[in-house]
């Protein structure tokens, strides 16, 4: 059993333009796309609160005022701060900017356009047990071509990230990460970089990344078909 202090801080990356959703959601940041009567971001926040996360750092960019107005109106009681990208910095650059406001040894990182109903204590337990730089939540999927596949060894360390193509089955990166803040800060990163391509992928096979498979609800609203599916599934 993990006796370390539980993670209570979360960085939510919510600066995306939502280019592929323009036909369905013009002129809104992707996280603010309306799903079953409220912004998609609200479902992400609700699940975070259910998991005991109580300090929020929102990494914002495109039309950040829209997100700020919503949060101050509907979630005014949250312990939260905003970090604004003056220009797109990539997912890694956005995390690097936001992590300056994190107090704890580890932080959870989520995407504001993806809902994965992860179990945080299980994720943190593996993160602590493996002493990984970063621990990823992984979702088993079948018959997909939108995501790459993550390979794990028997000790739950990530050995490789495979490219996007059609897979009959496999594990995907579900976009929920436990990140060791001190180690991340101590590494030399450029201002603009991809967390997935430039940070995670080079660490595969070094026993610095672990992965926890969780068979939980997952939806990524990045394309119109899944945005429409979310309307039905989350209305329930």
For the entire predicted model, the pTM comes to: 0.94
Give the pLDDT score at 3. Answer: 45
Q: What pLDDT, on a 0 to 100 scale, did the predictor assign at position 129? A: 97
Determine which helix (DSSP H) or strand (DSSP E) holds 220, and give its type and residue range.
strand 218-220
- pLDDT (tens digit per residue) in 182-232: 999 999 999 999 999 999 999 999 999 999 999 999 999 988 899 999 999
3-state secondary structure 108-143: EEEECCEEECCCHHHHHHHHHHHCCCEEEEEEEEEE
- The pLDDT assigned to 152 comes to 98
Does residue 148 lie in a domain region? Answer: no
With CA atoms as reference, report the closest residue to 49 among 95, 88, 10.
10
Rounded Cα gap, residues 136 and 177, in angstroms: 5
Res 19: pLDDT? 64
Whether residue 154 is contained in a domain is answered as: no
Q: What is the pLDDT of residue 223?
A: 87
In a domain, 165, yes or no: no
Residue 224 lies inside a defined structural domain of this protein = yes
Q: Give the range of the structural domain holding residue 72, as residue numbers without chain letter.
A: 9-136+175-203+218-235
- The predicted pLDDT at position 24 comes to 66
In this structure, is residue 117 part of a structural domain?
yes
| Cα dihedral sign, 16-189-95-150 | positive
The total number of structural domains that make up the chain? 1
In a domain, 231, yes or no: yes
Question: Sign of the CA dihedral 42, 175, 63, 76?
Answer: positive
CB distance 30 to 44 below 8 Å: no
Strands 79-84 and 158-162: unpaired
For residue 42, what is the domain's CATH number?
A: 3.90.550.10
Which of 10-37 are b and which e, b meaning 16 or more Cβ less than 10 Å from the residue's Cβ?
Answer: bbbbbbbebeebeebbeebbbbbbebee
Domain membership flag for residue 122: yes
On whether residue 150 sits in a domain, the answer given is: no
Residues of the chain with pLDDT under 70: 1-4, 17-24, 26
């Amino acid at each position: 059993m993990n006796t370390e202090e539980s993670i209570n801080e979360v960085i939510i990356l919510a600066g995306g333009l939502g280019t592929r959703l323009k036909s369905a959601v013009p002129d809104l940041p992707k996280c603010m796309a309306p799903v079953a009567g409220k912004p998609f971001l609200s479902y992400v926040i609700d699940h975070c609160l259910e998991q005991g996360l109580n300090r929020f750092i929102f990494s914002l960019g495109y039309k950040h005022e829209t997100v700020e107005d919503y949060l101050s109106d509907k979630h005014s009681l949250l312990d939260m701060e905003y970090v604004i990208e003056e220009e797109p910095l990539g997912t890694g650059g956005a995390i690097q900017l936001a992590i300056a406001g994190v107090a704890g040894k580890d932080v959870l990182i989520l995407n504001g356009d993806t809902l994965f109903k992860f179990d945080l204590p299980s994720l943190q337990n593996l993160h602590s047990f493996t002493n990984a730089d970063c621990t990823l939540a992984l979702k088993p999927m079948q018959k997909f071509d939108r995501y790459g596949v993550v390979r794990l060894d028997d000790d739950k360390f990530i050995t490789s990230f495979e490219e996007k193509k059609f897979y009959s089955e496999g594990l995907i990166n579900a976009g929920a990460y436990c990140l060791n803040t001190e180690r991340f800060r101590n590494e030399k990163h450029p201002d603009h970089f991809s967390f997935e391509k430039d940070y995670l992928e080079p660490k595969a096979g070094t026993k610095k990344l672990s992965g926890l498979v969780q068979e939980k609800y997952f939806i990524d609203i990045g394309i119109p078909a899944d945005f429409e599916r979310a309307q039905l599934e989350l209305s329930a």
